[in-house]
Structure 1
Amino acid sequence: MNTSRSRGRTPGTLRAAALAVLLTTGGFTAPASAQSARTETPVGSGGGVTETVVRVKSPLPASFGARPAACDWLSYLRYRSSAGPASSAEADRVLIAQPGILEGAGAFDSVARNTVTRAAEQGRHIEFWALDRRSNCLEDRTGIASGDQHTAVDYYYRGKQVQGRTFAGFVGNDKLGWMAGLGIEQTVRDEYDLLTAELPDQSVRKDKVLCGGHSLGGVITGYFAAADFDGDPATTADAGQNQCAGYFALDTTVSTSLGDLSGSIPDDTNLPDVGLGYGVVQAGLDSGLLPRSLSAPVLLNPETMTLLAIAGVGALQDPGGEADLPGYLPANTNIEATNRFLFSKDTATFLTGSPAVKDFRLTNQAVLGSLMDDQSVPLAFLQSSVGFFDGGPITDKNFPAANGSSAQPGLFGTEYKAIPAVPHGPLYTWRDYDRVGDADDPGYRASDGTPFTAAGKEVTDIQELARSMAAQPLDFTEQYFPTKLVTDLELSTSPQVKRLVVHPDGLTAHPTLTVLAGDGLLAGRVPADLHPVVADGYQHLDVLTAAPVQNNGRPEPVSTALTEFARTPR
C-alpha cells in the first residue's frame, strides 16, 4: 500500500480551506486603492504557510497608450512561513518565480507551499513569490470566486450578474493595442521594478533573492540576469545579476534561447511568422494586423481556458458528485471543438461528435482529471500526473495521435492515452495519485497490453490541483499571453533584442539549480554539466503541482531541491 496518505492534507480539509478562500476573496477583483502604491491582502493561512496577494503600482510608460487602470499594477502571490518574520527583507531567502507560457501565478501554489514548509521544518524561514505577468490584469475572476460551477458558467457565458457585476466579455484584439509593447524588455523591467520596490536595499537583493522560473520563465530569467536597468553598462549595481544570489530553473534552463523548449509552444497558435523580421512583426502588432495575444482555435484561448478553472471549482465543490458541466455549457463552435479534441477516442469520433463527453457519466474530479492528466490531455505542456480514471471499462484514446506511435512526442508527450469506453453507462470516478497501485486498483491496460500508468508515474494530488486552479486570486493560466514576448525571444539575434543582453556573463555569475521533469519536455536533452536534479515520473506541470509526499513515501523532490538550494550559503 502507498504511504503518501500520511501527508496530513485530506481532500475534505483541502475543500474546506479552498472554499473558505473563495468566500473571502471577492475584493480581489476590485482595483487597488488609488491612494495606495501597494496593497497586500490575506488569502489564507494553513499548514504553517501564510499566503497573501500583493499588488504594487507601476505605471507603464505613456507610449504604451490607453489601457485598463488595473494594468498599471504588478501582482504576485507571496508565500511565507507563518512563524517567520513579517518583513520580506528579514527572511532567510526570497525565491521569485516567472511563470511559463500561458501560465499564471496560481500554478506555483503547491511548489511554493511545499518549499516554504520544508524550509520551516529545518528552522529556516523563506518566502516564495509567484509572479503574474502584467497582461493578467485583463482577467476577471468574479465567476470563479463565487465557488459555484453553475454561477461561474452563467456569469462568463450567459450574461448573468454576480454580486452586481456583469462580465464585460473576453477581450478582443482591437482592445489590446497596449500589449503590442509587452515584450521581453518590459517583462524583465517589471521584475526589476517589483524587486526594487519590495526590497529597496540592493545588498539585500543580492544576498537573499533567488531568481528563477518554470518553462519559458527560465528564458525570461536568463534575460533578466543579462540585463542592465539604468542605461549605463559601466554601473553594475542595477545589473540583473546583482539582484540575485542564485538562479533556479524548473523543467527549463536559465538561458537566452528558446531552443531547449521545443514543444512548449503549441503548433496551431496564431503566432506570426518571425521570418518576416523584427520590424515587420512589430509593425503588424502595432497596427493590429497581427494578433497581440497568443491563442489557438481550440483549448488555448480565453473562453476555453476559463473552463479549466470552472472544472476546478466543481472538483472543490463536490469532487465525487456526478458532473453536469459538459451538458450545462453553452453550445458554440469553440467549446464544441475543444470538447471533441479533448474527449474523442479516435478520428471518427472527433469528426462526428458522437459519443460526446456529455454522453458519459463522470464525477467532477474525473472531469478535471480528463482535462489535465497525462493519460488524457494530448498536449504535453499541459500535462500533470494526477491519477487515473476508475469505475468502469477504459479504452485507448488514439486521437490526435495513436498510442505507441512516435508522432510529435514533444507536442503530445509519450504516455499512452485513455478514455472511458461506455457512454450512458457506469459513473466514472477518479483514482487519486496516491491510490494508484493499491490492492483495489484494476490496473487498466491499453489494447497492446501496456499498463496505462503505475504508482511511480503519479505525483500530483487532484484536489491540490483543483485548489491551485480555482481557489487562488491570481489565475493558474494566462488568458492573454503577449505575442510580442514570444516573437522577441524567437528573434533573439535581431539587433533590437540582442541589445538587451548587456551583461552576458550574468548567466553564469551565480550558482544555478536546474530541476527537470523525468518525463517532461526536456527529458534527456539537458547537458550533463548542468547537473540537473531529475524528478522521476514527473510531467511538465508536475514540477509545480506535485504533492508534498510521494508514492514512495519520500518528500517531494522539487521542493526538497529548492529548499536545499535556498539553504546553501552563497
Structure 2
Amino acid sequence: MKSMTSLKPMTSMTSLKTVKTSSGRGRTWRGAALAALLTAGALTGAVPTAQGAGTRTETPVASTHPADGVTESVVRVKAPLPSAFGSRPAACDWLSYLRYRSAEGPAASADADRILVAQPGILEGAGAFDSVARGTVAKAAAQGRHIEFWALDRRSNCLEDRTGIASGDQHAAVDYYYRGRPVDGRTFDGFAGNGRLGWLAKLGIEQTVRDQYDLLVAELPDPGLRRSRLLCGGHSLGGVITGYFAAADFDGNPATTADAGQNQCAGYFALDTTVSTSLDDLSGSIPDDTGLPDIGLGYAAVQAGLDTGALPRSLSAPVLLNPETMTLLAIAGLGAVHDPDAEADLPAYLPSGLNIEATNRFLFSKDAAAFLTGSPAVKDFRLTNAAVLGALMDDQSVPLAFLQSSVGFFDGGPVVDKDFPAANGSAQPTQLFGVEYKAIPGQPHGPLYTWRNYDRVGDADDPGYRSADGTPFTTAGKEVTDIRELARSLAEQPLDFTEQYFPTKLLTDIQLGTSPQVKRLVVHPGGLTANPTLTVLAGDGLLAGRIPADLHPVVAAGYQHLDVLTAAPVQNDGRPEPVSAGLAAFARAPR
C-alpha cells in the first residue's frame, strides 16, 4: 500500500510519474486514477415498447423494498457499436438503465416534470443508485412533482452474468460462479480474462459520452424536451464524464449547437465529485497493484498496449477490485436480504483461491501477523449474514475509503482495533483509509457476532464499543445507511451495483489529456458552466478537508463516498436525507 502521492492509477506497483491533467494542475497518475469509486433480481419477459419491436425493451423490476410509491423498470435500447470495435457479445450492442418514476405520475417519460440522468463512478453500476433514486423521486412526489431518475449502466456492464445472483440463493450463486454448477440450465462461462476483452481497448471517453447522447436522443427525440427537462450528472467519476458530455459536440460541426452537450441538459448535478474534465478532485487512493502502464508512455504507446493486450483492458487487482471478488458483494447481499440475523456459512462455503484468500485476509486481519499467517481467519468467527456484509462495506471495517458506507457496527461480542493495514490513530492519509477508526471481532470460535443497524447505534442497549485509546468507534451521527437497503441494492437489482470490467481506456483517455478523443470532445468548454449546477459532497468523503466553497455545495455531514448514494430516507437526527432532498429541490426549481 502507498499513500495518495505515490500511487499509480487505480492500483499498480510500477513507477510513478507526475503529469498535468486537463485542468493544467500537477497530479500523480496512480493517485488520481482510481480515486473515486465505486466506488442484482431476475427479469421477467421483456416487452418491446416505443422504439419498435427488437430495438427497445422495458421490464418491471420486483423488489422487497418497502412501499415508497416509486416504480422501477430496466430499460434496454439497441445501439450497435461501430464495426471497428470488432468482435463482442451481442448484449454489448445494447445500452441499459434503471428507470425510477412516481407510481402516480405519467407513464411516458416525455410527460415527467424533470428527469435526472446519472452516470456511475469507477467500478460502479446502475444498481448503486437505487436508494438515492427512490428517495429523490419519492420526495419530489410528496411535493406534487412527478420526476424520473435514470441510473445509467455503462456499456461494459454487458459482460456481467447475473444468473447466479438472480437465483436468490447464496449456495447456488457460489456454486455457479466458482464451482461450474448450472443454474436454470445455464453454466457460467467464467470471468473474462484480458484475451476476451479486445473490444474494450476502444471503449473510452468518446464512446462513453456518445452512448449517453444516443440513449437520450432515442428516449426523448424532441430536442426541446431534452433541453428543458433533463438534469445530467453523476457520482464520483460520473461528474467528470458529465463534464465531458457538457463540453462535447455530437454532429461534428461546432457551428451548430443544438446537438452540443450543454443543450441536452437544463442543469447538472455532482454527487461527491465536481462537474469537470479533470480527475483532480477525485483524490483518493487504493492498493497499488493493477499493473497499469506508466503515464509517461504517452497516448500512442498506451493505446497500442491496449490493442495488443500487452496492457490490461479492464481494471483489476487481486484484492477486492476484480470480477471474482466483486461478485462476492452481491452474494453477501443475498444473505443479508433473505436472512440477515441467521448465522452465516458463506466464509466457510467459499472455495479457496488467491483472490478470495487475499481479500479475506486484507479485510479480516486485525494486524500484520494475522494477515501473514491467515490466523485467525474470517471463517474462525461466528457472524450473521448482516455482519458479513457489514464487514465488507462498513467504514469501521473495510480499510479503503472509496468502498466505505456507514451502515452500523458489530455487536454481540468483544470488538478490538483493526490495525491492519494501518494502525488506528496513526497519521495515514485519509484519502486512502478514510477518517474512521477500524474495528474487528475479537473472539474467534466464540459468540455469534451480529450487526447493529445504522438507526440502532446509540440506543440504550448499545455497548458503545471503544478503541484501545478510548476513542468511540462510531456514534449515531456518523451512521446514515440502512444495511438492509444496501443489501437490496447489491442483490436485487437486474443491473449490478458494481462494474466488473471497467475499461482501462476510459481512464487513460482522461488522464492523457492530449489524447485525440479528448481533443475531439472538448469543443464547447463553456458548456461546463452554461447551466446551473448542484454539488452535493460527503462530509467525510473524497473531498473531506478541502471542500471547494466557491461551488456552494450541499454537504452531507458524516457521509462517506458511497453514502451519498445509499443513505436511508430518514437519518438518525430525524431529518430527511439531505442528498435526495437536495436533488428533489434542484429538480423542482425553474430552469
- Give the alignment partner of residue 273 of structure 2, picking from 219, 235, 252: 252
| Residue aligned with 2:59, SS | strand
Number of the residue aligned with 1:554: 575
Letter of the 1:525 counterpart: R
Letter in 1 for 2:59: T
Query: 2: distance between equivalents of 1:246 and 1:264?
Result: 30
Q: State the alpha-carbon separation in 1 of the partners of residues 230 and 264 from structure 2.
A: 7
Offset of 1:273 from its aligned partner?
1.6
Q: Please say if residues 91 and 125 of structure 1, whose CA atoms lie closer than 8 Å, have aligned partners that are also in contact.
A: yes
- The one of 333, 342, 347 aligned to 2:368: 347
Q: 1:57-104 deviations in whole A, cap 9, x for unaligned?
A: 000000000000000000000000000000101100000000000000
**8 A Cα contact 1:188 1:223, kept in partner:** yes
Distance 2:375 2:565 in 1: 35
Distance 1:26-1:167 versus aligned 2 partners, 3 A rule: farther
TM-score, normalised relative to structure 2: 0.91
The equivalent residue for 1:43 is: 61
Residue by residue, what CA displacement relative to the aligned partner does 1:11-53 show, whole Å, maximum 9, x if unpaired? xxxxxxxxxx93x53668xxxx995100000003742100000
Determine the C-alpha separation between the residues in 1 that align with 2:420 and 2:110.
51
Unaligned runs of 5+ in 2: 1-39
Distance across 2 between alignment mates of 1:381 and 1:337: 19
* Structure 1 residue corresponding to 2:528, chosen from 487, 507, 510: 507
From the superposition, tell whether residues 133 and 74 of structure 1 become closer, same or farther in structure 2 (CA, over 3 Å). Answer: same
Which SS does the other structure have where 1:261 is aligned? coil
> Residues 472-526 of structure 1, C-alpha deviation per residue, up to 9 Å, x if partnerless?
0000000000000011111113454233210000000000000000000111323
SS at match of 1:189: helix
The question of whether the paired residues in 2 share the 8 Å contact of 1:112 and 1:128 is answered with yes
Counterpart-to-counterpart distance in 2, 1:218 and 1:210: 12
| 8 Å contact from structure 1 (residues 26, 142) kept in 2 | no
Q: Residue 62 of structure 2 aligns to a residue in which SS?
A: strand
Residue 140 of structure 1, CA deviation: 0.3
1:262 lines up with 2:280 in the alignment: no
- Aligned pair partner of 2:563 in 529, 542, 550: 542
Counterpart for residue 381 of structure 1: 402
Asked if the contact 2:248/2:523 (under 8 Å) is kept, the reply is: yes
Q: Give the conservation status (yes or no) of the 8 Å contact 1:101–1:264.
A: no
8 Å CA contact retained: 1:132, 1:474 = yes
Q: What is the percent sequence identity of the aligned residues?
A: 81
Q: Is the 8 A contact 2:131 2:566 kept in 1?
A: yes
User: Equivalent residues in 2 for 1:398-547 (5 A)?
Assistant: 398-547=419-568
Counterpart of 1:146 in structure 2 is: 167
SS across alignment from 1:233: coil
The 5-angstrom pairing of residues 158-307 of structure 1 reads 158-263=179-284, 266-307=287-328
State the alpha-carbon separation in 2 of the partners of residues 304 and 337 from structure 1. Answer: 10
CA contact 1:278–1:496 (8 Å) conserved in 2: no
Match of 2:382 among 344, 357, 361: 361
Instruction: Give the distance between the partners of 1:270 and 1:38, measured in 2 at CA.
Output: 39
In the aligned structure 2, how far is the partner of 1:227 from the partner of 1:208? Answer: 19
Decide whether aligned partners of structure 1 residues 542 and 65 sit closer, same or farther in structure 2, where only a CA change above 3 A counts.
same
2:124 alignment counterpart: 103
Give the distance between the partners of 1:452 and 1:307, measured in 2 at CA. 26
How far, CA to CA, are the matches of 1:464 and 1:507 in structure 2? 34
Superposed displacement of residue 119, structure 1: 0.2
For 1:433 and 1:280, the matched residues in 2 are separated by 48
Task: Tell me by how many angstroms 1:347 deviates.
Answer: 0.4
Residues in 2 aligned to 1:279 and 1:224: alpha-carbon distance in whole angstroms: 24
Deviations 1:413-432 (A, max 9, x none): 11000000000000000000
Once the two structures are TM-superposed, the CA of residue 265 in structure 1 deviates from its matched residue by 5.7
**Whole-Å Cα distance in 2 between the matches of residues 519 and 195 of structure 1?**
33
What is the DSSP-based 3-state SS (H/G/I as helix, E as strand, rest coil) of the residue aligned with 2:281? helix
Q: Which amino acid aligns with 2:564?
A: V
Over residues 425-469 of structure 1, what are the superposed CA-to-partner deviations in whole Å (9 max), with x where a residue is unaligned?
A: 000000000000000000000000000000000000000000000
Looking at structure 1, the residues matched to 385 and 420 of structure 2 have their Cα atoms a distance apart, in angstroms, of 23
- Segment drifting more, 382-391 vs 522-531: 522-531
CA distance in 2, matches of 1:475, 1:494: 30
Kept after mapping to 2: 8 A contact 1:361/1:425: yes
8 Å contact from structure 2 (residues 117, 151) kept in 1? yes
* Alpha-carbon distance, 1:333 to partner: 1.4
Q: Hey, what's the Cα distance between the residues in 2 that align with 1:477 and 1:246?
A: 26
Report matched runs for 1:317-328 at 5 Å. Answer: 317-328=338-349
Q: Distance in 2 between matches of 1:34 and 1:141?
A: 26
- Whether contact under 8 Å (2:272, 2:537) holds in the other structure is yes
Secondary structure at 1:129 match in 2: strand
User: Following the alignment from structure 2 to structure 1, what is the Cα–Cα distance between the partners of residues 45 and 436?
Assistant: 41
The 8 Å contact of residues 286 and 400 in structure 2, kept in 1 or not, is answered as no
Aligned to 1:74: 95
Q: Is the 8 A contact 1:26 1:145 kept in 2?
A: no
CA contact (8 A) 1:215 1:264 kept: no
Match of 1:87 in 2: 108
SS of equivalent to 1:130: strand
Shift in Å, 1:266: 4.8
Q: Distance in 1 between matches of 2:442 and 2:315?
A: 34
Distance 1:288 1:150 in 2: 35
Distance 2:394 2:426 in 1: 19
Q: Which runs of 5+ in 1 are unaligned?
A: 1-20
Q: Which of 332, 344, 351 is matched with 1:311 structurally?
A: 332
Q: How many Å separate the matches in 1 of 2:115 and 2:301?
A: 40
Per-residue CA deviations over 1:131-158 (Å, capped at 9, x if unaligned) read: 0000000000000001110010000011
Q: Report the secondary structure of 2:431's partner residue.
A: helix
The aligned residue for residue 337 of structure 1 is: 358
Q: What's the CA shift for 1:569?
A: 0.3
**Segment drifting more, 124-133 vs 35-44:** 35-44
CA distance in structure 2 between the partners assigned to 1:351 and 1:536 by the alignment: 37
